[in-house]
């Protein structure tokens, strides 16, 4: 029986993973090792009981008494705290879903690679902050990383049987998010609720806002660079409002392989779960005659400064990705709290990168997990100061 763990089981990706496992037979089909969650202790306990997990861990220490109580008599161990989450990743499992949101997802995924596990990576922040480190750790332990982000799963699938050397370009599609049709001058006034109204995908709150600002696409361009090892100038972004083509790979003979499907994350999660086989998945089938048409347009860089910043981060490499991601998370926190405007987020990130430069230009092979965590911490402090200053000026 295959063993597996899910880090971030109570989130959007985690719930969809649990849905697929449950449909595939749940605890009768898989040995579930660890499930982790954040504050939703009730849901975590419920899924841990249903899947007969060995251990359930909530991120917040304060949640432990409730978790223990809810798991009493079930045989599921209860634990809490960041260290306990990393400890849970030390328990061997054949397949590990990394679906915690943000930089907090890096350490458990990194640790899971030591067992030579297959790491299904939804947490794109891991590759943005520590790509070279993560890929080297996977190689060292003969572990495998499978992308779960829909674009990267699409690219991965369009590369099957092909030689990466024959790739001329990778074209990432972007929905453009909730505000894509707003006039540029109105964007500064966008509220959290408006930025959350994503037209196609149902996702966690943070990634939905990042989708509207295209910080999500910026992270994904860097993720592409790190995961597939392609040169940044071979990575393009195109807005495709229908979200039916999940990304494309262009080859040197001019052929373009596009991956299509309904916008449903259970496809990429299921692909990573069943890989290298394909099994039936409960996703809607495309009816192209009914869809009729698909449209595309180039992203306007004035609307999406995040895309320009991603290019700068890729030019610097080293620890710039860790600083970029941390500053982005802090800027997003301030936007969510109503302290800064939608268009101020990019300013906070850019000013943080400028403030921390040139300390970011480390050689990649000198990078350790501790270096990444130190820069993450430093960037959060600086970004917080910059965001508070911005908020004061509003």
Report which residue's Cβ sits closest to ligand NAD: 11
d(CA 215, CA 218) in angstroms, rounded, equals 5
Helix axes 205-213, 320-336, angle to 10 degrees: 110
Binding site for ligand NAD (CB under 6 A): 8-14, 37-38, 59, 85, 99-101, 104-105, 122-125, 149, 201, 203-204, 206-207, 265
What is the rounded CA–CA span in Å between residue 92 and residue 105? 17
Q: Which is nearer to ligand NAD, 100 or 245 (CB)?
A: 100
Contact set for Mg ion, span 113-172 (CB under 5 A): 149-151
179 burial class (0-12, 13-18, 19+ CB within 10 angstroms)? buried
Show the tokens assigned to 272. Answer: 């990573």
> Smallest distance, Å, CB 217 to Mg ion?
8
CB of 79 to Mg ion, least distance (A): 31
> Toward ligand NAD, which CB reaches closer, 79 or 265?
265
Is 223 one of the binding residues for Mg ion (CB under 5 A)? no
Residue 5 or 150 having the CB closest to Mg ion: 150
| Minimum gap (Å) between residue 61 Cβ and ligand NAD | 12
DSSP bridge partners of 299: none
Phi then psi dihedrals of residue 101, to 5 deg? -90, 140
153, interface contact from Mg ion, ligand NAD, none, CB < 5-8 Å by kind: none
Alpha-helical runs (H) found in the chain: 12-23, 41-50, 64-71, 82-89, 106-112, 124-140, 150-158, 192-195, 205-213, 215-228, 265-274, 288-291, 305-316, 320-336, 344-356, 369-393
Closest residue (Cβ) to Mg ion?
149
Among Mg ion, ligand NAD, none, residue 241 binds (CB under 5-8 Å by kind)? none
Among residues 134, 118, 92, 123, the alpha carbon closest in space to that of 9 is found at 123
Quote the least distance from Cβ 40 to ligand NAD, whole Å: 6
Partner whose binding site includes residue 303, from Mg ion, ligand NAD, none (CB under 5 to 8 Å by kind): none
Report, in Å, the least distance between residue 229 CB and ligand NAD. 20
CB of 382 to ligand NAD, least distance (A): 20
Handedness of CA 212, 218, 223, 225 (dihedral sign): positive
User: Site residues (CB under 5 A) for Mg ion?
Assistant: 149-151
């Amino acid at each position: 029986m295959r063993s597996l763990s899910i880090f971030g089981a109570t989130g959007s990706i985690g719930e969809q993973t649990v849905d697929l496992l449950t449909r595939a037979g749940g605890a009768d089909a898989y040995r579930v090792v660890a499930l982790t969650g954040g504050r939703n202790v009730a849901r975590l306990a419920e899924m841990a009981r249903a899947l007969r997990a060995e251990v359930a861990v909530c991120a917040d220490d304060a949640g432990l008494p409730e978790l223990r109580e809810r798991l009493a008599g079930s045989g599921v161990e209860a634990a809490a705290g960041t260290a306990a989450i990393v400890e849970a990743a030390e328990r061997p499992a054949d397949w590990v879903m990394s679906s915690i949101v943000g930089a907090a997802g890096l350490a458990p995924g990194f640790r899971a690679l030591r067992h030579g596990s297959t790491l299904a990576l939804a947490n794109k922040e891991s590759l943005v902050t520590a790509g070279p480190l993560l890929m080297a750790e996977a190689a060292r332990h003969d572990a495998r990383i499978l992308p779960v982000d829909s674009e990267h799963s699409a690219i991965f699938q369009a590369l099957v049987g092909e030689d990466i050397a024959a790739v001329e370009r990778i074209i990432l599609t972007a929905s453009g998010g909730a505000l894509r049709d707003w006039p540029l001058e109105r964007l500064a006034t966008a509220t959290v609720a408006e930025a959350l109204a994503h037209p196609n995908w149902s996702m966690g709150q943070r990634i939905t806002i990042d989708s509207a600002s295209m910080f999500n696409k910026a992270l994904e361009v860097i993720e592409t660079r790190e995961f597939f090892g392609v040169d940044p100038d071979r990575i393009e972004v195109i807005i495709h409002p229908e979200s039916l083509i999940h990304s494309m790979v262009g080859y040197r003979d001019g052929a373009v392989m596009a991956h299509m499907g309904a916008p449903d994350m259970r496809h990429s999660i299921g692909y990573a779960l069943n890989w290298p086989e394909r099994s039936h998945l409960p996703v809607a089938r495309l009816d192209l005659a009914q869809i009729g048409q698909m449209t595309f347009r180039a992203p306007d860089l004035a609307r999406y400064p995040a895309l320009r910043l991603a290019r700068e981060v890729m030019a610097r490499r080293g620890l710039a990705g860790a600083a970029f991601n941390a500053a982005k998370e802090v800027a997003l926190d301030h936007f969510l709290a109503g302290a800064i405007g939608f268009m101020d987020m990019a300013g906070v990130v850019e000013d943080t990168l400028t403030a921390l430069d040139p300390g970011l230009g480390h050689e990649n092979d000198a990078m350790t997990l501790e270096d990444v965590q130190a820069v993450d911490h430093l960037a959060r402090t600086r970004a917080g100061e910059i965001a508070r200053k911005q908020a004061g000026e509003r």
